[in-house]
Amino acid sequence: MSGLATLETGLLLGLYALLAGIWGVLWGLAQFRQTQICGRSAAAAYGLHVLAALTIILWTPLGFGWKSLIVGSSLVFLAIPPMTWRLLQHTHQKEGSEHDRQPSQYSSRIVARL
């Protein structure tokens, strides 16, 4: 395994994770501004992320197990923004109930008696 190829793999892995982050941010922005450009750039970011993943899989000297991990992570990265979002919306829907808004000392529900 050549040293340079391994080191370039390191940079590719960084790019891979960075693009996943950009995908997450753009996906979130697209939920607020439902313009085409936002949605498309989010998709493009994920597309580039997949491209980085493919480059890692086809071109780098990593073993099979590590490459599977890359594929698996890409799938999880795909799911994280929508899943986080849904959960956030779900929890925020119930925000209305008054006792939650009170400072802790009045909120008997979550105050465990010691």
Contacting another protein (CB under 8 A), which of 34, 36, 58, 91?
91
Query: Binding of another protein at residue 75 (CB under 8 A)?
Result: no
Considering Cα of 71, then 77, then 83, then 84, what sign does the dihedral take?
positive
Burial class (CB in 10 A: 0-12, 13-18, 19+), 20: buried
Q: Distances from the Cα of 66 to the Cαs of 7, 20, 42, 99, in angstroms? A: 15, 18, 26, 48
Q: How far is the CB of 68 from another protein (least distance, A)?
A: 10
CB proximity list for 62: less than 8 A, separation 6 or greater? 9, 56, 70
> Please, which residue, 44 or 80, has the CB nearer to another protein?
80
Do 98 and 108 meet the contact criterion of CB atoms below 8 Å apart? no
By rule CB under 8 A, what string of x and - marks binding of each residue 24-63 to another protein?
xx-xxx-xx----------------------------xx-
Q: Which residues bind another protein (CB under 8 A)?
A: 1-4, 6-7, 9-11, 13-14, 16-18, 20-21, 24-25, 27-29, 31-32, 61-62, 65-66, 69, 73, 76-77, 80-81, 84-85, 87-88, 90-92, 94-95, 100-101, 103-105, 107, 110-114
